[in-house]
Structure 1
Amino acid sequence: MTAAWTLHPDRALPADPVTRPIAREIYTSVARLPIVSMHGHVPVEWFADNAPFVDPAQLLVVPDHYLLRMLVSQGETLPRLGVGSLDGSQPAESDPREIWRRFCAGWQHFRGTPTRFWMETALVEIFGVAERPSAATADALYDQIQAAIDLPDFRPRALLDRFNIEIIATTDHPWASLEHHAALAGAGLGSRVVPTLRPDAVLSIQSPTFAADVQRTGAAAGIDVTSYAAYLDALRAQRLRFKAAGGRATDHGPYLPDTTPLPDADAARLFDKGMRSSTDSAADRVTAGEAASFGAHMLFQTAAMAADDHLVMQIHPGVQRGHATAQTALFGSDHGYDIPVALEFTRALRPMLDAFGHHPGFRTIVFTIDEDVYSRELAPMAGVYPAMRVGAPWWFLDSPEAMRRFRESATESAGFSNMSGFVDDTRAFCSIPARHDLARRIDAGYLARLVAEHRLDLDEAVDTAADLAYRLPLAAYEAR
């Protein structure tokens, strides 16, 4: 009979006998600190409705693009994993147990990945699973997890307490009614579940839905958007609505981080062209260059708005969205086909930082998936501009080795105080505690090495670990 599946208490801590005891002490000091989750994508409806989760597949597999992309790389298909095509030609698997079986049968493919750490932590520590996923154990695990999520103490609001989440931010369209956040405020959770404005859809004039999305945003703001000036007014109004609902930040995912502003007349001309771009006229079609120029201009304009209303401006560029053209057209975005590209920040951010880098009301957190720029560009800029912080390793980089490399490459130029703290950036709700736990373990290991090398005293390392895990994200996203 095989032994019950357990997790080693020192997992992800340094292996060498000198630093491991130090890392263990540092980690223990922060392991139970509250979670500050200010950059995530858990649907607000889950908390507003507070309904039971439907089944293990819909909770743990279908919304997690890390799981989907690995299994697809090994021969599975999105429909077999619960994601149907937009046109209905390839319907999603209707049996959640079959989706779960396919995930369990592919468990070995996650060896050596952060997904393995997140999932095993959730399975063992949240659901009490005692056997590894496999084709043989899939049904028993499914039944065990289903029994757990059917209980009242596994409802979304109850899990906020169980996971020790002090505050969590959702991500919301610029035209969002915010009715769910209003309902949460009425239930006393308005300062615990807060909205984040994601305006990308109304900043991209090349988007086929740009005009419709702008009009929806204007309608939400109570402004008839008939001009570029009215468009800016609508964005300002929506920002204030989000802030009144508890929002602390905006979230921007441009392809490139250019922040070069345009003359107002040129910006107005491009806006008008974007509003006409759904027509069949070749003269009204927006070119890639025009879209890039307008997007850069609007990043600058967003910074100007942020300096006035004090919402934190999160910028995370450098992703080729929908890399697989046919798959994205069939199934939509956010299913694993977003791939990093190389970036340049020093020249790209200079217009914005020249204008607002020392402005007392402006705050920006800049993320990247291009590791080369941490030590060369982002850390040096954050190390001198008071308005800028370096974002935590994000997306493909929130893994043990990449997080270690981040600390080694960015700390010496930026210092710990110019970092944002960890962000989990996930729709997979049950992975949030595991993601923060892994970051705390990696930080404990890095700090332990500084102690062992006599570059920090132990009390300083313990204090810094608390900064990274808790105090820095609170400060970076402080409501003003």
Structure 2
Amino acid sequence: MLAPDRMLPTEPALRGIAREIHQQTARLPVVSMHGHVDARLLAENRPFTDPAELFVTSDHYVVRMLVSQGVPLEQIGMPAAHEAVAVETDPRAIWRTFCANWHLFRGTPSRYWLEHELVDVFGVPHRPSAETADAIYDHLVAMLERDEYLPRALLDRFDIEILATTDSATSTLGGHAALAREGYGERIVPTFRPDGLLHPTAASWPQSVRRLAERSGIDIAGYDDFLDALGERRRTFIAMGARATDHGHLHADTTPLDHTDAARIFATALRGEVSERDADAFSSHMLFEMARMSVDDGLVMQIHAGVLRDHNAEVRRRFGPDRGFDIPVGAEFTRNLRPLLEAFGREPGMRLVVFTVDETVYSRELAPLAGVYPAMRLGAPWWFLDSPHGMRRFRELVTETAGFYNTSGFVDDARAFASIPARHDLSRRIDAGYLARLVGEGQLTLDEAVETAIDLAYRLPLEAYARRSEHAVSSLGVGADAYR
């Protein structure tokens, strides 16, 4: 059984207040506005393949922890491209490896999420270990064969009001089209992610441009055609229900180029002759252009900056991307975002949500920026900071400058579908504890703390990612009793 007061303050007086606050948010619907669940999972609505796929190989937090302790990627089912290397294909064997290494997750948010999933969602009666691995595996297999554990049934059980996926700008959106035909078009929506098109030195860039031309129906002979094709794809995404764009750049530089320079760099990139310096300048310029397009079409712009992707080139070459080797770097936002914010930061139609994994910029840069530019909101603690203490530090570092209402509320960035309710539960508990402290210190009344907790968990993400027509009239602070 999970401890009912887990992650709430240990001080008795504050724990009682936090418990009361959390009770008002625990059963709120889940608003999951940024994640990486594949829409096809819900469109096909097939049973999950096996416990190893559901809990281990689909979760890069789990993968990277196992790898950090010397477990070969092949041992947990990751094949090496073009190599005749033995790969474990038995999901039970992969599960045994995971359970035998359960102790590695002590003190990590992964442990919290996994326990929540195993106990609360699947009713597992044993703690994972080498000795209990087979019993847990058999229990999970029996659960996954039941209709109530199909993806859509879990979508309802988790009370996910809206789920945003993240989709390449050249995606066919076939899964979303199928879902829309079955009435899920307003509930499961795509997010426009054009990263593969905005970095012209990427090995796949020429193919990405060709696919963009095919998907948009626009022959891309030059830079203006490129912009038109991106605009056309954004319109397609909007027609499919998209609320936002997503940009995972190494740096948050948004310095625009003169149109002539942008066209010149694009032309050299098409010829395969672009320099690293010009490519970086073009990527920064395109962030500015994406902001301009967001002012025009109303898509919320999300920037995730400060992560060096695929730190190990050999792992990327052998096993592909997203194998846990993405490492944070120092981030700078004050100067890098200045061109974008000077141009669009006070535009009524612009909404920018900024995420970071560099805590040093929370109080020095991001909170002051969000605390003055109406268009900007701070995204929730992301990736390595999506943790109990990371969430607490976020509140402590940004609230006094930016307040609560210049943040996006909680978004989960989940890849593992079954972890979504666990992530939201953790966030709600941490916020309940932080707000309880403000009540205990006399900074808030209990009713204010409850209303703020509801806003952070539910209303703020709905408002931050609302369509432009909905964004014009905010419901914040109205009718809080309806959600208690």
Superposition TM-score tier, normalisation by shorter sequence: over 0.9
Task: Check if 1:200 corresponds to 2:203.
Answer: no
Who is 2:418 aligned against? 430
| 1:210–1:275 Cα contact (<8 Å) kept | no
Pairing of 1:77-92 with structure 2 (within 5 A): 77-90=72-85, 92=87
Once the 2 structures are TM-superposed, how far is the Cα of residue 28 of structure 1 from its aligned partner? 0.7
1:402 pairs, out of 390, 400, 412, with 390
4+ residue runs over 2 A deviation: 86-92
Query: Are the counterparts in 2 of residues 105 and 133 from structure 1 also a CA contact under 8 Å?
Result: yes
Question: How far, CA to CA, are the matches of 1:187 and 1:214 in structure 2?
Answer: 32
1:212 aligns to what SS in structure 2? helix
What is the correspondence of 1:32-71 to structure 2 with a 5 Å cutoff? 32-71=27-66
1:89, CA displacement in angstroms? 3.4
SS in 2 for 1:250: strand
Aligned partner of 2:298 in structure 1 is 310
Counterpart secondary structure, 1:146: helix
Confirm or deny: 8 A CA contact 1:56 1:146 kept in the other structure. yes
Secondary structure at 1:134 match in 2:
coil
Shift of 1:92: 3.4
Offset from partner CA, 1:368-427 (integer Å, 9 cap, x none): 000010101111111111100000000000101110000000011111111001111121
1:427 partner letter: R
Q: Is the 8 A contact 1:211 1:276 kept in 2?
A: no
Matched, 1:221 2:216: yes
Matched, 1:93 2:120: no
The separation in 2 between residues aligned to 1:446 and 1:292, in whole angstroms, is: 40
Residue type of the alignment partner of 2:105: F
Aligned to 2:142: 147
Q: In structure 2, give the amino acid aligned to 1:125.
A: D
The answer as to 2:85 corresponding to 1:125 is no
Q: Paired residue for 1:473?
A: 461
1:153: Cα distance to partner?
A: 1.2
Report the residue type matching 2:465 in the other structure. Y
How far did residue 287 of structure 1 move? 2.6
Code of the residue aligned with 2:387 in structure 1: it is S
Deviations 1:297-340 (A, max 9, x none): 00000000000000000000100101111111111111110000
> In the alignment, which residue of structure 1 is the partner of 2:476?
none
Q: Deviations over 1:111-166 (max 9, x none)?
A: 00000000001000011011100000000000100111111111111111011100
Residue type of the partner of 2:381?
P
Cα offset for 1:90? Answer: 3.3
Q: Where does residue 330 of structure 1 map in the other structure?
A: 318
Measure how far apart 1:88 and its partner are: 4.1
CA distance in 2, matches of 1:91, 1:450: 56
What is the match of residue 187 of structure 1?
Answer: 182
Who is 1:411 aligned against? 399
Which residue of the other structure, out of 254, 257, 260, is the alignment partner of 1:259? 254
Number of paired residues? Answer: 468
TM-score norm. by structure 2 comes to: 0.96
Decide which of 230, 234, 237 is 1:242's aligned counterpart.
Answer: 237
Alignment-derived partner of residue 387 in structure 1: 375
Aligned residue for 1:348, secondary structure, equals coil
Determine the structure 1 residue equivalent to 2:451: 463
Q: Equivalent residue of 1:313, what SS? A: strand
Would you say 1:13 and 2:8 are equivalent positions?
A: yes
Aligned residue in 1 for 2:473: none
> Are the aligned partners of 1:80 and 1:99 in contact in 2 as well (CA < 8 Å)?
yes
Question: Match of 2:71, SS?
Answer: coil
Q: Which secondary structure does the structure 2 equivalent of 1:316 belong to?
A: strand
Match of 1:108 in 2: 103
SS where residue 417 of structure 1 aligns?
coil
Alignment of 1:264-275 (within 5 A): 264-275=259-270
What does the per-residue CA deviation read over 1:240-289, in whole Å, with 9 as the maximum and x for residues that have no partner?
A: 10001000000000000000000111111111121121xxxxxx1x3322
What amino acid is aligned across from residue 231 of structure 1 in structure 2?
A: F
SS in 2 for 1:416: coil
The two structures have a TM-score, normalised by structure 1, of 0.97
Does residue 321 (structure 1) correspond to residue 309 (structure 2)? The answer is: yes
Cα RMSD between the aligned structures?
Answer: 0.8
* SS state at 2:301 partner: strand
Contact 1:85 1:91 in 2 (8 A): no
Residue in structure 1 matched with residue 481 of structure 2 by the alignment = none
Residue number in structure 1 paired with 2:153: 158
**Distance across 2 between alignment mates of 1:177 and 1:92:** 31
Distance 1:214 1:71 in 2: 36
Deviation, structure 1 residue 79: 1.1
Unaligned runs of 5+ in 1: 1-5, 278-283
2:478 alignment partner in structure 1: none
Aligned-pair CA distance for 1:91: 5.0
Give me the whole-angstrom Cα distance separating, in 1, the residues matched to 2:405 and 2:81. Answer: 45
Letter in 2 for 1:255: L
**Distance (Å, rounded) in 1 between the aligned partners of 2:402 and 2:298:** 23
Which residue matches 1:295? Answer: 283
Q: Which residue of 2 aligns with 1:212?
A: 207
Q: Where does structure 2 lack aligned partners over 5 or more consecutive residues? A: 469-484
| SS state at 2:302 partner | strand
Of 5, 13, 22, the residue aligned with 2:17 is: 22
Deviation string 1:167-213 (CA, Å, 9 cap, x unpaired) is: 00111111111122111111010011000011000000111111110
Does structure 2 retain, via aligned residues, the 8 Å contact 1:248–1:477? yes
Aligned to 2:361: 373
- The structure-2 alpha-carbon separation of the partners of 1:102 and 1:459, relative to structure 1 and needing over 3 Å to count, comes to same
Q: Secondary structure at the match of 1:290?
A: helix
For 2:376 and 2:83, the matched residues in 1 are separated by 45
Question: 1:350 aligns to what?
Answer: 338
Distance across 2 between alignment mates of 1:424 and 1:12: 17
CA distance in structure 2 between the aligned counterparts of 1:180 and 1:267, rounded to whole angstroms: 34
Amino acid at match of 1:437: D
Matching residue of 1:444:
432
Q: Which amino acid aligns with 1:199?
A: P
